[in-house]
């Protein structure tokens, strides 16, 4: 009887949260999945009287050169801004902070965290002012006789990659700081006594010990970056042309500008599956289970 009452209390306690999850996550996800197989539009006749079209949206998607271009842009942006950029810089900062005083750690931590807590739109305007033809970067380079460049036109992908690295590095730094703090000092000292060099210490001791944190962080920064919209849209709008149009940007254009909601939700499903596949690849490649 006591076990039954306890289970009833647990279910009653969790019920509100479960209802919210179903209403605001599973239900919209199922609706999006169903809409991806229809010709539903945002306005017009097919906004209500839409029809089942099978896999037509998916076939159309992979025949669409703009979608393929946006997928390639997404992969490039994800690889250099998150998987490499944020993680490498975050790991370096975490390593450098290990032997620093608490004062320096607090100053550097605060400076890095400012980028993380700053809204995407604000970060976009900051970097627009930095990369603009009359902005800070050209003004600084002008001191050395370098002619001003249209960074947001000629190097737009580089601009959004740097902006995302600046904004997201703090998360990786905090994750790696926590992981590095958990490495037993005895393991480091034993390695030093065995004559292990710095590179071997990194590859043979540190990375294997924090492998779980690396997998977790890689997965999280991937999922955060793969659906990034506000920063790119506010900074470049996906331009010039389609140079910085990622899948979320193209999905927005098709869903809410061209009103092709069925086609747009099909892209959302592909993006979701892409994120899941990458997460599974990370776990398998590092032979770690979350």
Q: How confident is the model at residue 38 (pLDDT cuts 50, 70, 90)?
A: very high
pLDDT at 286: 65
Mean pLDDT, rounded, for 73-78: 96
Domain boundaries defined on the chain? 64-285
pLDDT at 290: 44
Torsions phi, psi for 52 (to 5 deg):
-75, 125
Q: How confident is the model at residue 287 (pLDDT cuts 50, 70, 90)?
A: low
Which tops the pLDDT comparison, 3 or 22? Answer: 22
pLDDT at 108: 78
Which tops the pLDDT comparison, 189 or 104? Answer: 104
pLDDT in tens, 239-263: 898 999 999 999 999 999 989 999 9
HEC per residue, the chain: CHHHHHHHHHHHHHHHHHHHHHHHHHHHHHHHHHHCCECCCCCCHHHCCCCECCCHHHHHHHHCHHHHHHHHHHHHHHHHHHHHHHHHHHHHHHHHHCCCCHHHHHHHHHHHHHHHHCCHHHHHHHHHHHHCCCCHHHHHHHCCCCCCCCHHHHCHHHHHHHHHHHHHHHHHHHHHHHHHHCCCHHHHHHHHHCCCCHHHHHHHHHHHHCHHHHHHHHHHHHHHHHCCCHHHHHHCCCCCCCCCCCHHHHHHHHHHHCCCHHHHHHHHHHHHHHHHHHHHHHHHHCCCCC
Is the entire prediction scored with pTM above 0.85? Answer: yes
Q: How many C-beta neighbours within 10 Å does residue 251 have?
A: 24
Q: Give, in words, the CATH class of 64-285.
A: mainly alpha
Computed over every residue of the chain, the mean pLDDT equals 86
pLDDT in tens, 169-207: 888 988 898 888 887 777 777 777 767 777 787 777 788
Report the percentage of the chain scoring pLDDT > 90: 37
Residue 101 predicted with pLDDT over 80: no
């Amino acid at each position: 009887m006591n076990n039954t009452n306890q289970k009833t209390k647990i279910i009653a306690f969790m019920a509100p949260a479960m209802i919210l999850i179903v209403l605001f996550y599973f239900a919209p996800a199922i609706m999006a999945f169903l809409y991806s197989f229809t010709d539903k539009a945002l306005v017009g006749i097919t906004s209500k009287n839409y029809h089942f079209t099978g896999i037509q949206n998916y076939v159309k998607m992979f025949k669409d050169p703009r979608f393929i271009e946006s997928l390639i842009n997404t992969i490039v942006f994800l690889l250099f801004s998150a998987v490499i950029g944020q993680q490498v810089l975050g790991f370096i900062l975490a390593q450098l902070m290990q032997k620093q005083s608490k004062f320096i750690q607090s100053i550097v931590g605060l400076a890095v965290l400012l980028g993380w807590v700053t809204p995407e739109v604000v970060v976009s305007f900051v970097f627009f002012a930095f990369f603009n033809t009359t902005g800070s970067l050209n003004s600084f380079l002008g001191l050395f006789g370098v002619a001003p460049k249209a960074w947001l036109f000629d190097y737009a992908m580089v601009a959004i990659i740097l902006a995302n690295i600046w904004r997201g590095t703090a998360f990786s730094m905090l994750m790696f700081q926590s992981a590095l703090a958990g490495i037993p000092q005895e393991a480091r000292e034993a390695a030093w006594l065995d004559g292990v060099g710095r590179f071997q210490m990194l590859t043979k001791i540190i990375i294997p010990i924090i492998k779980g944190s690396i997998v977790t962080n890689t997965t999280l920064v991937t999922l955060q970056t793969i659906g990034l919209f506000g920063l790119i849209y506010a900074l470049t709008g996906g331009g010039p042309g389609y140079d910085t149009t990622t899948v979320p940007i193209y999905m927005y254009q098709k869903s809410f500008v061209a009103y092709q909601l069925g086609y747009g939700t099909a892209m959302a499903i592909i993006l979701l599956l892409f994120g899941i596949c990458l997460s599974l690849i990370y776990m398998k490649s590092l032979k770690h289970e979350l």
